[in-house]
């Protein structure tokens, strides 16, 4: 395992970690909003390495051990460029990319603006660029109709209080586990102690038990860019959580229909979390997708 701080073109430092044999195909994992690299559980990363992949994960700006800014004067396009900087910092010309939630938004931007850096793309538990997430929440709160289903009311309430200061570590852990229980949904067994262990590690990694929230203020991607997805040539897999309370079906199918040749697969029992009970089918979907490309170019 190699930890490295890399510097972006705009002078920020990003904490990164690489695991596995550098001679194996590189895989970049991009986590969701306000989450550190440890949002990808250790067991999940190790399983990908066992599939002979060189796995990279990193802390977004304003999370974990990466640069924290006093003012959020950046946009999601800047965060997509951070992912490119991670590849550059590790000397990787092209990589397979897996993006979850906001990471899936950044993955779509990579496919549009940096296609030459991608071998394959897997978009998990995310929405297409033509979906206005903030407007969906507003319409849901006001009881107005939406073309695609919005986040559940319980999730909207949870998100509104996510950045409330926690008085101590145990309170912070209780809140985080309760949030994960809500996000995971009722489909798969929920191991509260498992998520508590993962969150304790994430807090130790970041050095604070307070939840980051800066990404909520980042400039979004114009929804007009969703039409550009029809020119994406990167082999793309979309993973839908049938019980995802943030981007429920048919968000995944809608996204797959915008990208030529993209496939959408639903993982039974999957919500908007990565419980260990579902690691195997998720990893199988990812590695099968990568394997098709690697075999075709071997």
Annotated catalytic residues are: 101, 244, 272
The DSSP-derived string for 230-259 is GG--S-EEEEE-TT-SSS-TTHHHHHHHHS
Q: What angle do CA 279, 234, 126 make, to 5 degrees?
A: 45
Task: Please provide the size of the chain in residues.
Answer: 298
CB within 8 Å of 201: residues ≥ 6 apart = 38, 42
User: CA 136 to CA 113: how far, in whole Å?
Assistant: 26
Whether 263 contacts 144, CB under 8 Å: no
Q: Are strands 13-19 and 54-58 parallel, antiparallel or unpaired?
A: antiparallel
The two counts, helices (H) then strands (E), for the chain are 9, 8
Whether 139 contacts 146, CB under 8 Å: yes
């Amino acid at each position: 395992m190699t930890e490295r701080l890399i510097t972006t073109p705009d002078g920020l430092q990003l904490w990164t970690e690489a695991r596995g044999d550098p001679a194996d195909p590189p895989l970049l994992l991009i986590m969701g909003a306000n989450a550190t690299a440890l949002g990808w559980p250790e067991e999940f990363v190790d399983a990908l390495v066992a599939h002979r992949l060189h796995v990279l994960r990193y802390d977004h700006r304003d999370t974990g051990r990466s640069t924290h800014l006093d003012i959020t004067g950046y946009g999601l396009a800047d965060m997509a460029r951070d992912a490119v900087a991670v590849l550059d910092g590790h000397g990787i010309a092209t990589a397979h990319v897996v993006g979850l939630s906001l990471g899936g938004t950044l993955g779509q931007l990579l496919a549009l603006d940096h296609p030459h850096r991608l071998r394959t793309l897997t978009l998990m538990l995310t929405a297409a660029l033509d979906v206005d997430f903030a407007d969906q929440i507003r319409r849901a709160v006001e009881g107005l109709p939406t073309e695609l289903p919005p986040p559940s009311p319980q999730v909207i309430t949870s998100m509104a209080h996510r950045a409330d200061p926690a008085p101590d570590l145990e309170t912070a852990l209780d809140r985080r586990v309760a949030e994960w229980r809500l996000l995971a949904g009722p489909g798969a067994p929920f191991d509260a102690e498992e998520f508590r262990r993962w969150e304790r590690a994430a807090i130790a990694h970041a050095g604070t038990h307070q939840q980051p929230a800066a990404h909520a203020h980042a400039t979004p991607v114009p929804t007009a860019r969703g039409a550009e997805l029809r020119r994406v040539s990167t082999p793309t897999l979309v993973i839908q959580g049938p019980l995802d309370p943030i981007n429920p079906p048919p968000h995944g199918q809608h996204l797959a229909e915008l990208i030529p040749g993209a496939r959408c697969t639903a993982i039974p029992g999957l919500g908007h979390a990565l419980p260990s009970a579902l690691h195997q089918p998720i990893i199988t979907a990812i590695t099968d997708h990568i394997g098709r490309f690697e075999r075709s170019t071997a």
